[in-house]
Structures are given as structure tokens and as C-alpha cells.
Structure 1
Amino acid sequence: MQLSVALAQKSDIELVTETVQNYLDGGTYGDTAKMAKVFHPSATMKFVDVKTGEFRDVPIAKYLEGGKANAGKKSDRNTRILTIDITGTAAQAKIELDYPTTKLTDYFNLLKINGEWKVVSKIFAREDKK
């Protein structure tokens, strides 16, 4: 008797969730290689500096380079994926990173490129806790 096993393809929601979770896990556990795989090489990070009010536009490579200082160190934070919205080959994810003194809300824009979901831009808001 022969058995045949069909491998089910993961749904886009599962794949986007996996991509975002890799970012969260990479950041929490200081795994910059895992974080780098999430982003398209041309991705950018944009934000308003809460101290100066200035708009910042940072290439993702520079952001990832800065993260290497925490390589291998576990961050004291809780994370969660708040929403994921997908239309065709475009998606958006909203995540929360809760630290003891700060809360960050990240918004990711993702595109399905050659069958893989990649973050092409990240924006975030920072709230300092009192």
C-alpha cells in the first residue's frame, strides 16, 4: 500500500504573521540575522523624534546595524501583533512593543515579492511611560 502526503501551502495570513513574528523574536532575543531576513534591502524606517519633533528617515540597513549592539541580549519587553490586513500582494501589520519605560507601536507595510512577504517600510510611534 502506498501513502501519498500532500503538503498544504501556508496561507498569506500565516506567512505575514510568521514574518512579523520573526521580527519580534529577533528583536526580543537579539537575533539581528533573523530581523534582517524580514526586511527588503531597500526598506526604510520613518518616525518623528519625540524629543526634538524632527522627522527621521533611516535606511533599514542603518537601523539593523544599530541593533547589533544588542546581539545575543534578551530585551525586557512584551510584544504582540495587533492587526494584519492583506489585499493581494500588499499587507499592513500593526504591532506593539511594551518596555518597562516605553511603548512602541510599529506599522509595517509588506509586499509579497517572489513568493515571500517582506517589510518594505516601517513607521512607528513612541510613548514614554510616566
Structure 2
Amino acid sequence: MPAILLLIVSGFYVGNTVLAEYVEKEAVKVPLEAYLKGHETGKPEYMQKAFHTDGKLMFIRDGNYTTIEFKDYIGRMNGQPAKDEANRKRYIESVDISGNAAVGKIVLDYPNARFVDYMSLLKIDGEWKIVNKTFNVEPKNSSD
């Protein structure tokens, strides 16, 4: 009888742990999905929901380390989708969480280039925010 009780209690614990991990992963996806929606629509308000105000983009351009403040990045948005929006694909490839820190990998597959974004997120005051973004871009050949 004690073995059965232990098995039942263990089952509840494992079930609750799995549920909690699922809920947290879905919460991390909220700013990542807002980021994707911002790209889809060109509307800055989605990016404002996704990014922490103090964050930066960090990347290599022409062999040089480059940074852009999130506010400047958001300021470039014109509120309209790209002309080739119908040919663009974007998705969250993975999410990894450890306590109040997470990393999201996003793929932006566009007609002329493929971007891979790595988003660093922190849970701040109970809400997940993208605090930094690094990315790589690979141009596509016109025959792709």
C-alpha cells in the first residue's frame, strides 16, 4: 500500500512539474510572438511589447561588431508590412529556460536572406521581456 501511495504522489508531482514548465514556456513565447507580429505588420507597438526598454541588438556587419539600441531599431518601423510579406516565413525554433532567464531562437526566412535571431529574455516583475538580441544573416542566391 505505501508503494502505491508513493507512486500516486510522485505522479502528481511530475504532472505538476510538467504543467508548470509548459506554462512558463508559453509565457516566454509571448514576447517572442509579439516580435514576430511586429515583423509581420511593421507596427512598432508589437516590438515595444516584446523588448525591454534598455535592450540592444548586437551583430557583426562587414566584419565589425555593431550594436543598435532597441528604441532606435523600433523607430525604423513604418507601421506597414513589407511589400514581399506573402513570401516571408518566421517561426520560433526553440526556447530554453533556466529560472528567470531564457533564450529563444527565431528564424526569419525571407526571399533574399535567412536570419537566425537569438533572443536573451529575463522575467522582470513577473513578465518576460527580450533584453538583448544577437543574430546572423545569410544572404540567399537569386536562384534559391
TM-score per shorter chain, which class?
A: 0.7 to 0.9
Partner residue in 2 for 1:58: 68
Partner residue in 2 for 1:129: 140
- What is the letter of the counterpart of residue 36 of structure 1? Q
Q: Equivalent residues in 2 for 1:1-130 (5 A)?
A: 11-49=23-61, 52-67=62-77, 69=78, 71-74=79-82, 75=85, 76-130=87-141
Which consecutive aligned stretches of 4+ in structure 1 deviate over 3 angstroms post-superposition?
none
- Give the C-alpha shift of residue 72 in structure 1: 2.4
Q: Distance in 2 between matches of 1:72 and 1:101?
A: 19
The one-character-per-residue Cα deviations of 1:19-39 (angstroms, maximum 9, x if unpaired) are 201110111111210111111
Q: Distance in 2 between matches of 1:127 and 1:11?
A: 33
Give percent identity, aligned residues only: 35
- Greater gyration radius: 2
- What is the letter of the counterpart of residue 119 of structure 1? I
Q: What TM-score, normalized to structure 1? A: 0.85
Question: Matched residue pairs, number?
Answer: 118
- Give the C-alpha shift of residue 55 in structure 1: 1.1
Report the secondary structure of 2:76's partner residue: helix
The one-character-per-residue Cα deviations of 1:70-111 (angstroms, maximum 9, x if unpaired) are x12253410011110001100000000000010000000000
Greater helix proportion: 2
**Backbone CA RMSD of aligned residues:** 1.5
